[in-house]
Amino acid sequence: MSISCYHCGLPVEIEGSFSAEIAEEKREFCCFGCQTVCKTIYNAGLEGFYQKTTEDIVLAPPPAIPAELSSYDLDDVQADYVDINSNIRTIHLLVEGIHCAACVWLIENALTKQTGIITAEANLTAKRLRLTWDNSKTSLSSVLHVLGNIGYAAIPFDPETAEGVLARKHRGLLYRMAFAGFAMMNLLWISIALYSGADQGEFRNWFHWIGFLIATPTLFYAGYPFLRNALLGLRHRYLTMDLPIAIGATATYAYSSYITFTGSLYGDVYFDTVVNFLFVILVGRYLEAISKREALSATTRLLELQPKLATIVTEDGSKVIPIRSVIVGDLVLVKPGEKIPVDGVLVDGQSAVDESMLTGESIPVVKTIDDKVVAGSINGEGAFTIETQQVLRNTALAKIVSLMEDAQASKAPIQCTADKIVPWFVVVTLSLACITFFYWLQFDFEKALLAATSVLIITCPCAFGLATPMSIAVATGVGAQNGILIKQGSALESLSKVTQFVFDKTGTLTQGILRVVAVKTIAVMTEDELLILAASIESHSEHGVAKAIVDEAETRKLTLSTITGFLSSPGQGVQASIKQKQFFVGTHRWLKAQNITIEEQWQQKQDLFEGEGISCVLVADQGKVLGIIGLADQLRKDAMKTVTSLQQQGIAITVISGDKETVVNAVTAELGNITRYAEVLPADKSQLVRNLQQENIVAMVGDGVNDAPALIQADVAIALASGTDVSIESAEIILSHNELYKVAEAKNLADRTLRTIKQNIAISIAYNIIMVPMAMMALVSPLVAALTMPISSLLVIGNAVRIKHRVKSK
Amino acid sequence: MDVIYGLLPGMLLLGIIAVVIFFWAVKNGQYDDMDGAANRILMESDQKKDESNNDDEK
């Protein structure tokens, strides 16, 4: 087992590449970000953070901090979020990187140590921070900076516009649930009294009236959503689960009220059944609403990730303005490392731009004059000016958001087995109750009403309603212990029926990081010498290729030489001198432009590498080429095992990637017989999934923002925990240990769960077959009902618990 | 046993008060962060020596 990063807990890929003395002990880190963050935390005396993070929590490496923080101090910009007329200001910040309670502790403690901060309250569930500060003593940018240093990226946002309506709806449901809970607790006392004999004596009527008083508001206030949905469903001729709930509750209520009003001594009241039933179902609905709300907040979050500011160039020089003030045609200056704020065409300068968020392409794309750039992608080392073509809602990023919304709206709700049976169940129950009523009506009205109602109550979908949720609850628990987080239970059921798995390539099937895979040199030079040369120069660059070369040099424990006169041509190459000799590292084309002769053999080698999906950089001195370094993204170690295990179950595998075809083919070659789609744009990804869905039930596994629309479109979405927040939120199943093989394990779990669900449905149907005829014959006394109903539920629950043991014994 | 005629409305009254308090708490945002507060109380206890934390960027 490899060492894991002291800060984030992810495995350290190359031991010793990032290590530091922390509190007199040598610690290993996975990346420079983690190392810096950890140092800052110790310097601030907040090392308690590490005792507070529990073992099983895997933090992610710290997110990149937005570059232009100082602009957030401008009143113009802040006006969107705070009241700028006073010095004491309160703002809501969206914080990327909050994982656990220790993060909350760290943020609050680090901030309250700063001068000028009045309160800082971090919200763990919503990953937000409410900050009140004194603008005369500190500035917003310095607060954001402190957050950045301890590993959190924060962006201001306005909670009301983002989700005001939804929050109010959510709150309404919570009120109804609370009210039903209150009613249930009080009514149970009355029921106990009635059961223990009060229904015989002088208080019988008094208790009935109190029950009526409690049950009436509960049915019409707390039960309103069910009554409404049942009526709506009837109007649209669609039988939903709400209908039997509404009928069961109303019929029981009506019958009990009848007994209460007539003061009859014959029947019993069932107000407690009505109220308990509504409460239990409302609890389920509330839990469902929470997960839906999380999924929605992810969409708004993606929009919040858009840059908020832009530097526009006018005749009077450049100035920073809020993004919404930028109009089409404005010239926008993009500095190195910044996120591009608008879609546009490059008019001046050049750079390499990281578009991985939109295209999934792992290597930055070189942009020169007249090339198009899209908002949300990240600029590399060069600065450039663009002419604005699209702003805000029209940008490509905003379109991904609307794609996600479309997919969410158009996707048919997952048809659970229970959903399919419900309409039949309702029809059969209702007709049986009618038959019972009219049969007994020939003899006695009261007996007819009693018998018909008991048919409704007995079939009242207790065991039936529990059959699916209980199995899923147990499976969710088992999954969580194994690093499979199931966000939406119904996903398990569809996962077991999946016939087609779609994998994203970059970051999902592969590690998502470039690695040096081949080094070729001229005869008089060793590989190490060439690497020392290249790494010494590249260590001054931030490019992904540079990082890969430097990492390789460190793995081989090479000592780098000092360089002078470093020059970088973004996206093309770098040069510097070592001991008065000039060296170049860069692309073929760029070296040619530097008047370096490239012999035929290097051209051949490069072609050979590129055919295998390996990208190349050449190393040269002033006269000739010294060697070639090949870099590639490699498959995860468990990719092969995962794919074969799924294929053995007869599942087809498809790989989608934004990368070039040769690269996709080469990287996935060893996976053998799978379908491959290359150069697929994010919008086409979801289209592709839709096409596959016509003949298959599709599960999508992905990790990037660009996968989000496809994830939502798919029948089941699985995301890796190392992925972006947005992809995690759009997925139903999350693999928390970041191991691809868990995909196959999740599939096994889903199969087992579906089998249990089917058994449970069989149990509850058997129960109904025995009990309903008895109820129709008016033989069911309240005592019999009270005994058999919990027994059927217990059977269903017990069977569900077996999922746990079966998984363990495997 | 006539006391029951008074006790039951009393019980309901208490229940209604509890519901009103709950509604107030929800409106007040007490349920917005269910996990954070529970952990926060455990974490606040250890006080580290309070050194002035200079932002090293400045």
Contact B55 A46 (CB under 8 A): no
Whether B55 has its CB under 8 Å from any CB of chain A: the answer is: yes
Query: Alpha-carbon distance A556 to A77, whole Å?
Result: 49
Residues, chain A: 810
Whether A45 has its CB under 8 Å from any CB of chain B: the answer is: yes
Query: Alpha-carbon distance A290 to A306, whole Å?
Result: 25
- Name the more confident of A695 and A248: A695
Tell me the one-letter amino acid at A151: G
Give whichever of A174-188, A282-296, A384-398, A512-526 has the largest mean pLDDT.
A174-188
Residues A773, A775, A777, A781, CA torsion sign: positive
The sheet with strand A309-314 has its strands ordered as A317-322, A309-314, A331-334, A384-390, A343-349, A372-373
Please check the confidence at residue A207 and state whether its pLDDT lies above 70. yes
- Residue A504 known to be catalytic: yes
C-alpha triplet A513, A515, A521: angle, nearest 5°: 155
Nearest by Cα to A587 from A551, A552, A543: A543
pLDDT in the model for residue B51: 40
Helix residue ranges per DSSP H, A100-223: 101-112, 140-149, 159-193, 204-217
pLDDT tens-digit series, residues A461-472: 556 666 776 677
Please check the confidence at residue B27 and state whether its pLDDT lies above 60. yes
The gap between the terminal CA atoms of chain B, to the nearest Å, is 78
**Residue the block writes with tokens 């147990």:** A474
Contact A376, A399 (CB under 8 A): no
Nearest by Cα to A731 from A761, A760, A708: A708
Please check the confidence at residue A216 and state whether its pLDDT lies above 90. yes
Residue B3: closest C-alpha in chain A: A203
Indicate the DSSP class of residue A71: G
pLDDT in the model for residue A93: 82
Residue B5: closest C-alpha in chain A: A206
Indicate the DSSP class of residue A316: T
What's the half-sphere exposure (Cβ side, CA atoms, 13 Å) at B23? 13
pLDDT in the model for residue A220: 93
Contact A700, A712 (CB under 8 A): no
SS3 A771: helix
Nearest by Cα to A371 from A402, A382, A312: A382
The sheet with strand A615-621 has its strands ordered as A510-521, A625-635, A615-621, A581-586, A573-578, A564-569
- Name the more confident of A625 and B37: A625
The gap between the terminal CA atoms of chain A, to the nearest Å, is 23
Please check the confidence at residue B7 and state whether its pLDDT lies above 90. no
Please check the confidence at residue A62 and state whether its pLDDT lies above 80. no
Please check the confidence at residue A319 and state whether its pLDDT lies above 80. no
Closest CB to A186: pick one of B15, B26, B52. B15
Percent of chain A beyond pLDDT 90? 2
Whether B2 has its CB under 8 Å from any CB of chain A: the answer is: no
Please check the confidence at residue A217 and state whether its pLDDT lies above 90. yes
Query: Alpha-carbon distance A735 to A647, whole Å?
Result: 20
A93: its two tokens: 């910040």
A242: its two tokens: 């709400």
pLDDT tens-digit series, residues A475-489: 776 776 677 777 776
Complex-level ipTM: 0.70
DSSP string, B7-38: HHHHHHHHHHHHHHHHHHHHHTTTTS-TTHHH
Contact B35 A48 (CB under 8 A): no
Query: Alpha-carbon distance A691 to A797, whole Å?
Result: 39
A111: its two tokens: 């901030």
The contacts of residue A225 (CB under 8 Å, 6+ apart) are A173, A176, A242, A285
Contact B39 A149 (CB under 8 A): no
Nearest by Cα to A556 from A586, A524, A584, A532: A532
Please report which confidence band the pLDDT of residue A295 belongs to, taking 50, 70 and 90 as the band edges.
very low
Contacts with A43 from chain B: Cβ below 8 Å: 53, 56
As a whole number, the mean pLDDT across chain A is 77
Q: Which of A354, A504, A707, A715 is the catalytic position?
A: A504
Tell me the one-letter amino acid at A255: Y
Please check the confidence at residue B49 and state whether its pLDDT lies above 50. no
pLDDT in the model for residue B55: 42
Query: Alpha-carbon distance A221 to A228, whole Å?
Result: 11
Residue A47: closest C-alpha in chain B: B48
Whether B18 has its CB under 8 Å from any CB of chain A: the answer is: yes
Residue A190: closest C-alpha in chain B: B8
pLDDT in the model for residue A726: 61
Contacts with B36 from chain A: Cβ below 8 Å: 101, 104, 122-125
Residues A120, A123, A124, A126, CA torsion sign: negative
Best mutation site among B7, B8, B16 for testing chain A: the one with the most A CBs within 10 Å? B8
Please report which confidence band the pLDDT of residue A275 belongs to, taking 50, 70 and 90 as the band edges.
confident
Contact A78, A139 (CB under 8 A): no
Tell me the one-letter amino acid at A228: R
Nearest by Cα to A335 from A302, A309, A371: A309
As a whole number, the mean pLDDT across chain B is 71
Closest CB to B36: pick one of A110, A123, A189. A123
Contact A174 B50 (CB under 8 A): no
Angle between helices A417-441 and A445-459 (to 10 degrees): 170
pLDDT in the model for residue A361: 57
Least confident of A71-75, A232-236, A365-369, A515-519: A71-75
Least confident of A74-88, A305-319, A622-636, B34-48: B34-48
Whether A173 has its CB under 8 Å from any CB of chain B: the answer is: no
Contact B43 A101 (CB under 8 A): yes
- Name the more confident of B41 and A247: A247
Nearest by Cα to A486 from A745, A679, A259: A745
Contact B36 A104 (CB under 8 A): yes
What's the half-sphere exposure (Cβ side, CA atoms, 13 Å) at A14? 17
- Name the more confident of A326 and A434: A434
List % helix, strand, coil for chain A (3-state, nearest 5): 50, 20, 30
Please check the confidence at residue A786 and state whether its pLDDT lies above 70. no
Nearest by Cα to A617 from A552, A669, A523: A552
Give whichever of A407-411, A489-493, B42-46 has the largest mean pLDDT.
A489-493
pLDDT tens-digit series, residues A480-539: 667 777 777 677 888 888 888 998 887 788 877 778 888 888 877 888 888 888 888 888
A114: its two tokens: 């700063």
Whether A383 has its CB under 8 Å from any CB of chain B: the answer is: no
The radius of gyration of chain B from alpha carbons, rounded to an integer in Å, stands at: 23
Best mutation site among B2, B3, B4, B45 for testing chain A: the one with the most A CBs within 10 Å? B4
Closest CB to B11: pick one of A108, A179, A186. A186
pLDDT tens-digit series, residues A727-758: 666 778 877 667 788 888 888 888 888 888 88
Please check the confidence at residue A411 and state whether its pLDDT lies above 60. no
Whether A445 has its CB under 8 Å from any CB of chain B: the answer is: no
